[in-house]
Amino acid sequence: MHVASVTRRYHFAAAHRLHTEHLSEEENWKVFGKCNNPNGHGHNYTLFVTVRGGIDAQTGRAVAFDTLDRTVQQTVLDRFDHQDLNHDPAFADRTTTGENLVLLIWDLLLAQLPPGQLEKIGLIETRDNYFEYAGPAAQSAAVGRTGG
């Protein structure tokens, strides 16, 4: 059976502020720039979820789109859309950077999708910022804490 990769695109809007108490005010600004704005701000995130599967001889499909869509909706979009990411329990002890976000989304979906199906997570944060993660699982305690 031939294996193909399929990427689906999703959208969510969320607010955040990039700031860590491990750094001084000046250092925070230097590292995070405008995303350190004390008032916070929002992004319209574009999420790419790439999964793989064997191409079914009869349907020609490698992945059930409706199942994937439902999983992403319930696991990721319902959790983050129109929320302040800084208030999500998974970000209690880490910054809401695109890097940490793709890591978290990877772990959340890995726990819900069939074994071996998830291939890559891509996330557009701004016109010029794109983040990617393709495992291994970060196995963050936060995923377990929030029940996935």
Binding residues for Zn ion restricted to 117-136, rule: CB under 5 A: none
Query: Does position 143 bind Zn ion by CB under 5 A?
Result: no
C-alpha 103/C-alpha 140 separation (Å) is 9
Residue 138: phi and psi, rounded to 5, are -80, -20
Between 17 and 79, name the residue whose CB sits nearer to Zn ion.
17
* Contact residue for Zn ion among 12, 14, 19, 35 (CB under 5 A): 35
Q: Which residue is nearest to Zn ion (CB)?
A: 35
Residue 25 in contact with residue 71, Cβ under 8 Å?
Answer: no
CA–CA distance, 123 with 92 (Å, rounded to integer): 21
Known catalytic residues are 35, 82, 125
Alpha-carbon span 112 to 143, nearest angstrom: 11
Nearest to Zn ion of 46, 50 (CB atom): 46
Q: Interface with Zn ion by CB under 5 A: which range of 27-35, 73-81, 108-116, 140-148?
A: 27-35
